Amino acid sequence: MTIHITPQQQLESKSQQGINQGAKLPLLYLPHPKRIYQHRKQRFMQLAKANPLAHYFSLCAKINALQLTIVDQSPITQNIKVAANNLITANNSALLSANNLFNQQWQDYLTQIINGLTDFQPQIDPIIQSLNNKTRQEKQQLATDLLSGAFTKVNSGEALFIWSALACYYTQLAAQLTGETAAIATRAHNSPLCPLCHSHPIASIVHLGSENGLRYLQCSLCETQWYSPRVKCTNCQDMSAIDYYSLDKELAAVKTECCHHCHGYLKIFYQDVDPKLDIVVDDLNTLILDQETENAGFSKTGLNPMLFP
């Protein structure tokens, strides 16, 4: 395995930055939960074949299938359109957060997910037992810890299932927003985190077919995508010292975008190279690239919702 590094001088040309003068950029794309879970499940199943992570990928595919069933058969009971418009003018906190618009329906989703994983016992049995032994209040506290970024307070195995239930909840909330409400939330936002829920991005993705290849970050919780100019650090916004790492070839479907200013990195996926990729699955399928990038002295600034630290 060799690692290919694109130095600063050979970066993507300025015309590829996605700054399309005169045209209106879509600032963000709200999620379509059923489409996301269906596609992700299929991608996990496709890549599970002859994969050293086959068993884990099958577990993830099953979780996505359960999320799909939840959205289909137990959709969220809240309607947040009016509440969201009022909240957005009331304070500067994340519109979708543990403080705003959070009820306990996600706990029913957690129960549905863990009850649906009987095929994967006994491997995950201790985690399921531990979650089943917790009170609703204890689970609510663990959710609040995860939503506030205190990942070390939660066992990583339990975090996978709790986050999967929370994501199913918040992705449906985000899907209810109107483009106008979401755009107002985005305009006032100036941070590397999701403009709607303030969670970390999974990675960024260059859209297929968009003029000049626009790049969007995708949220690890609510799955919203928000616009981010290319050849610019998504963590500290610096543009002066960016390098790209890829495995084996320069025109790879996935690279790490590395910033020498903050020493952070995040993966960037290219739909024109591989239109079938899924940002969560393909991130897990390229962990060797993370390893090589971390060996070069960079730290990941994103979160994969199927792999907790």
Residues binding Zn ion (CB under 5 A): 194, 196-197, 199, 219, 221-222, 224, 233, 235-236, 238, 259, 261-262
Q: Is the Cβ of residue 65 or residue 193 nearer to Zn ion in the bound state?
A: 193
Q: Is the Cβ of residue 258 or residue 281 nearer to Zn ion in the bound state?
A: 258
User: To the nearest whole angstrom, how small is the minimum distance from the Cβ of residue 125 to Zn ion?
Assistant: 32
Q: Is the Cβ of residue 114 or residue 219 nearer to Zn ion in the bound state?
A: 219
Q: Looking at beta carbons, which pairs linking 115-123 to residues 24 or more positions away fall under 8 Å?
A: 116/62, 116/66, 116/69, 117/59, 117/62, 117/63, 117/66, 119/62, 120/58, 120/59, 120/62, 123/55
Q: Is the Cβ of residue 262 or residue 273 nearer to Zn ion in the bound state?
A: 262
Q: Is the Cβ of residue 169 or residue 270 nearer to Zn ion in the bound state?
A: 169
| Of 209, 22, 99, 230, nearest in space to 217 by CA | 230
Q: Are 170 and 105 in contact (CB under 8 A)?
A: no
User: To the nearest whole angstrom, how small is the minimum distance from the Cβ of residue 96 to Zn ion?
Assistant: 6
Q: Is the Cβ of residue 213 or residue 264 nearer to Zn ion in the bound state?
A: 264
Q: Is the Cβ of residue 204 or residue 235 nearer to Zn ion in the bound state?
A: 235
Handedness of CA 267, 269, 274, 275 (dihedral sign): positive
Residue with tokens 């884990």: 56
User: To the nearest whole angstrom, how small is the minimum distance from the Cβ of residue 225 to Zn ion?
Assistant: 10
Token pair, residue 175, equals: 């899907």
